[in-house]
Amino acid sequence: MSVSMDVEYQKSTDDQPILSQRHYQHTDQDTGTQLVCDKCPAGTYVSIHCSPTSVRECSPCPKGTFTRGENGVQQCHRCRSPCPAGFIEKTPCTATQDRICTCPPNTFLSGDGAAVCKPHSLCPPGKRVKKQGSEKKDVVCKQCSEGTFSDVKSSATQCRNHTDCQVQGLVLLSPGTREKDNICGPLSTAPSSASTTASGGSGLVQEPIISSIFPKGPMQDPSSIMEKAIQKKPPAPLTQVREKWIYYANGQGKPTGSFGVGNCFSTEVETQLDLQKSL
């Protein structure tokens, strides 16, 4: 049986064999000839090398060992030990791949030289996540831009736009910051223009000043007020005062002392005030 397809004797100008990615070089122990043999597939290893009269033989990798791709090795590679505490197995050990351990979700491998997984940092209120954390790197935070806010601690939240009160038919009661949203309210809660004008732009309505016209005093019982009004001497009738005024105004009488027109007018005014006080 011919084995010329499996054992190649390709040589370059300097008598060195030319190897492709699918072959490996082997020196025959009996003849000392350098042979070019086919590689074994992934998950196997070379159990017997090729010879001038035979092809190489491959055997599967034992449990706990592996080979990733085509190879010319005489034994498989040993898989890594089981994952230590605090880590999880990302890929298991098989005949074609090694075991890979990694940090659990939302944690990363610290860069201080110790094999310890640490939780991803939480961006504080007022900041957003610029770059998501991974199994090897922590979260990167950045301050919220103008017009946006974040009011929670998070390792994934982005900043949100401030609420547009006008779009919702509301008015802005309190402007938002990087840590909180705008506070909106109905139009009835906003200061009116009339109130603002009356208060000189302060938004507060001033009460009319009445105390200078009607000074406040102690509360009195209505019955005691009526008793005082009855006991008080009633003033002269208005008809009598009016007759005196007409009499002196027509020159029909002569006032005694300093009595004159002004005295008559003041007398009538005082009489009216006495009537008001007695009520």
CB 28 within 8 A of CB 21: no
| In this structure, CATH architecture of domain 1-82 | Ribbon (2.10)
Q: Find, among 64, 68, 15, the residue nearest to 41 by Cα.
A: 68
8-11 LR contacts (CB < 8 Å, sep 24+): 8/35, 8/36, 9/35, 9/36, 10/36
Task: Considering the chain, tell me which residue range(s) the CATH 2.10.50.10 domain(s) occupy.
Answer: 1-82, 103-187
pLDDT at 259: 43
**Which runs of E-coded beta strand occur in the chain?**
23-27, 34-38, 44-48, 57-60, 65-66, 77-78, 88-91, 100-102, 107-109, 117-119, 127-131, 140-143, 148-149, 160-161, 171-174, 183-185
Helix and strand totals (H; E) in the chain: 4, 16
Rounded CA gap, 231 and 278, in Å? 10
Among 12-21, 68-77, 122-131, whose mean pLDDT is lowest? 12-21
Among 52-61, 145-154, 196-205, 261-270, whose mean pLDDT is lowest? 196-205
Percent of the chain with pLDDT strictly greater than 90 = 50
Helix, strand, or coil (residue 241): helix
- The reply to whether the predicted model has a pTM over 0.85 is no
Rounded CA gap, 23 and 6, in Å? 10
Q: 104: which residues sit within 8 A by CB, 6+ positions away?
A: 86, 87, 88, 117
Query: How far is residue 14 CA from its own chain's centroid?
Result: 71
Q: Find, among 146, 152, 153, the residue nearest to 177 by Cα.
A: 146
pLDDT at 68: 94
For domain 103-187, give its CATH number from 1.10.540.10, 2.10.50.10, 3.40.190.10, 2.60.120.260: 2.10.50.10
Asked if pLDDT for residue 104 goes beyond 90, the answer is yes
pLDDT digits (tens, 9 = 90+) for 183-216: 999 987 555 544 444 444 444 444 444 344 444 5
pLDDT band at 224 (very low <50, low <70, confident <90, very high): low
pLDDT at 233: 54
Asked if pLDDT for residue 4 goes beyond 50, the answer is no
